[in-house]
Amino acid sequence: MSETRVLVVDDSRMMRTLITSALEEIRNIVVVGEADGADEARAKIAELRPDVLTLDVEMPGMSGIAFLEELMTTKPMPVIMFSTRTSDGAGDTEEAKRLGAIGCFPKPVGPPDMMKKVIEEVAACIKTARESELTKIDASAASSNPAISPIDWNGRLLLACSESGGVGALKGFLATLPDNCPPILVALQNVDQAAVDALLKELEGTIAPSVSIASDGAAMEQGKILLSPGSDQHVVIDAWPGGRCRLMARDPVGGARPSASLLFASAAKAAGAEAVGVVFSAPGEDADRAASVLGEARSHVFRANGSGGYELKRGQAVQPVPDGQLAAEVMKACAK
């Protein structure tokens, strides 16, 4: 894997030094620069072209939240909030995730080993962001991915998985689907309840199918999208046809909860080749296994190829799929 270039933005020189030193101990991560606020960050982004930003909230002049909104409007890129104000459930955390931050972590207060643990979590988030496409859904995105006409559904079930770094691509995909799309169950890997709620709020009224948070026993119905309800439960499908979503409280699988591999395995068991999977997540143990388990059932599996497009795998056959054609090809697999 190539190195991931990180720009650290924080008004505290001591904190920039601590974050930089800790990140540079992580394999394949290199800190290319530091900035003490929004003005310097803009210049450093243009000069250094980082892959990922870590961003504080409390900074002189423009706040980190305001700068995040500016970035996502003018130059979308993976941003990780790292602040005393971005603990779980905090208002700034929810706002940052609504705006498109791929992760929010609290600055630790305590011994050095606490900083080490949090930095490892930040590094894991950075690595998943490396392959992600965080593009804002706007008029230009809609024109390059035109809406798809209603389909004559063939009865196939559709599963999707995405970690936080792939949510931008997931949103672009969902924005083009027809209102009679196949039943869709989405596993948002390690994405907490606040971020899921923010995503639901963003999608409601802007996409043609109906969308809601999955509950235990929720029916899988045509024209409906179910999103996993946070990071404390797994989602699976119990049967097909006529299946329902089931929630399971158990340990993470392959480092993820909800687990894509667990969801895809349940679909392979229930529906076999009558399931279709889309993997927006970056390569990793859980995402890799998810793609594999549906492939073994000779189902259609669409997955990002790491170079801006996707590929369709079914059994041993592999077919390239351009980014702008993903939704159309997935709907083709779900239509008579």
Q: Alpha carbon of 31 to those of 17, 67, 181, 235: distances in Å?
A: 11, 20, 43, 37
Q: Which residues contact 149 (CB under 8 A, 6 or more apart)?
A: 178
- Single out the residue of 171, 226, 229, 168 nearest to residue 195, CA to CA: 229
- Residues 107-155: pLDDT tens digits? 876 666 777 778 888 887 777 665 544 333 333 344 345 678 999 999 9
Per residue in 137-162, is it b (16+ CB within 10 Å) or e — as a string? beeebeeebeebeebebeebbbbbbb
Distance CA 110, CA 158 (A): 45
CB 154 within 8 A of CB 181: no
What structural domains and CATH numbers belong to the chain? 4-129 (3.40.50.2300), 139-333 (3.40.50.180)
- The reported pLDDT for the residue numbered 94 is 84
CA 178 to the chain's CA centroid: 22
- Residues 319-329: pLDDT tens digits? 898 878 899 99
- The reported pLDDT for the residue numbered 91 is 78
Prediction pTM value? 0.63
Q: Which spans in the chain are helix H?
A: 13-23, 38-48, 64-74, 91-99, 112-129, 139-144, 167-174, 193-203, 260-271, 285-296, 326-333
- The reported pLDDT for the residue numbered 307 is 64
- What percent of the chain clears pLDDT 70, i.e. is strictly above it? 90
- The reported pLDDT for the residue numbered 206 is 86
Tokens of 111: 């011994």
pLDDT by residue, tens only, the chain of 336 residues: 457 889 999 999 988 998 898 888 888 888 999 999 999 999 998 888 888 899 999 888 899 999 998 888 777 788 888 888 866 666 788 888 888 888 888 887 666 677 777 888 888 777 766 554 433 333 334 434 567 899 999 999 999 999 877 788 888 899 999 999 999 999 999 888 888 888 898 898 889 999 999 999 999 999 999 999 988 999 999 999 999 999 999 999 988 899 999 999 999 999 999 999 999 887 788 888 999 998 888 899 999 776 667 899 887 778 898 878 899 999 999 999
